[in-house]
A and B are shown apart, each in its own frame.
Chain A
């Protein structure tokens, strides 16, 4: 199975600070169809995970544009430009290029 390694595991930020989360894959996530099936989710406390980003860099419906995704191949990054209080929770990357779908171990964002 593809292993997704997220760093850091815990991130502490002040309101307004910009932060980045890394997701590294054990295999290239570029599919033979030319797409890269890498997604980002946020799970707020007590809630189900909500998709933020699809196909590496596309913002999901209703997701604020302070979130952005980038990367290719095996290295991907989620950036939050100006953290807000509602952004606290656990962030997960997920790949769907290779079966089975796999998730990263998560990055917990704490607000200082």
Chain B
């Protein structure tokens, strides 16, 4: 069974950094592109970033470009999201997702809450 367990969230002041992790199991992690999706409180879903199987290609939504970095460690089956220069509008629950061309995004975790506030 596919499992994705996010961790690393918390309360952080504007301008500070936070690093999220997503431990994957139940599938061959290195065979799949991966992504982060977020959901602000009481709001809808928003794609944040994606990374290719080997990590060589990364993609970001405009509002996080230059501030967020997606990466992966295939040996550890773990996905990361380094978030720098955090803003209040980054406050959200962050979900990690397995990404595939035909099947789209598969979200299996409970997500991790990030609150940016002074």
A residues apposed to B, CB below 8 Å: 35, 37, 39, 41, 43, 47-51, 54-55, 60, 92, 94, 96, 99-106
Contacts and interface: CB of A to CB of B under 8 A. Distances in A.
B104 A100 contact: no
Interface of B: 35, 37, 44-47, 50, 59, 61-62, 95, 102-111
Contacts of A105: 44
Contacts of A35: 102
A101 B47 contact: yes
A48 B105 contact: no
Contact of A49 (B50, B102, B103, B107): B107
A48 B104 CA distance: 15
Contacts of A47: 110
A105 to B, nearest CB: 5
A20 B23 CA distance: 36
A96 B95 contact: no
Contact of B45 (A37, A49, A96): A49
B104 A39 contact: yes
B56 to A, nearest CB: 17
B96 to A, nearest CB: 10
A85 B20 CA distance: 35
Q: Is the interface of B mostly helix, strand, loop or mixed?
A: strand
Contacts of B106: 51
A37 B111 CA distance: 24
A3 B36 CA distance: 20
B38 to A, nearest CB: 11
A92 B44 CA distance: 8
Given A48-B108, A48-B109, A48-B110, A103 B45 contact: yes
Closest 5 pairs between A and B when the two form their complex, measured CB to CB: A101-B47, A39-B104, A103-B45, A48-B107, A106-B44
Nearest to A99: B59
A48 B22 CA distance: 14
A103 B40 CA distance: 13
A18 to B, nearest CB: 25
Contacts of B62: 100
